[in-house]
A and B are shown apart, each in its own frame.
Chain A
Amino acid sequence: QKEVEQDPGPLSVPEGAIVSLNCTYSNSAFQYFMWYRQYSRKGPELLMYTYSSGNKEDGRFTAQVDKSSKYISLFIRDSQPSDSATYLCAMSDGNFGNEKLTFGTGTRLTIIP
């Protein structure tokens, strides 16, 4: 079983819709949670970063972490065609001295104009 599970999709939604992306994890030591966006043949770009449980909002993006359920989500409001990309969740156990990120496989998202 992988430490981080993410539905690979693909996921297609019409422009303007709310997108929900999710990851589950098994390692209860994870404390830091991140979402990256990766365009084709490019490096991942950090979108959101959350410590422990709770919500964090940045513009059209909202990240949620529920540590009790070992479940994290990313919501994209008013989705745009430029949001079409692969979204990767990543997490770390906060062990200072080894800031290793463990990634999900990524969800491929297409926003249809």
Chain B
Amino acid sequence: AQSVAQPEDQVNVAEGNPLTVKCTYSVSGNPYLFWYVQYPNRGLQFLLKYITGDNLVKGSYGFEAEFNKSQTSFHLKKPSALVSDSALYFCAVRDPSFSGGYNKLIFGAGTRLAVHP
């Protein structure tokens, strides 16, 4: 079965330090991977995606993610965290059993990032 795991419920980091939010996936075939961010009582905002090509993907707000096929991981990273980065982060993978224009996503449970001043 297709699945996404975010092993950490919460990540704490000091402002200015690098941050990593972990994501591993299990999907048949080539994975299409996404990261979204959610601020309190708001919808999800798209950060970045991996479809093919370079394993290091750059996205919005200085975030990047590294695709590692052998480890089936897609960790989100940022070189220097800001307090304003504090939010809930979701990793998602496209469900390959869907086709025809749909993009059914399988979401992880989310990781709460807390950046302390």
Partners in one complex: no
Chain B positions near chain A (C-beta within 8 angstroms): none
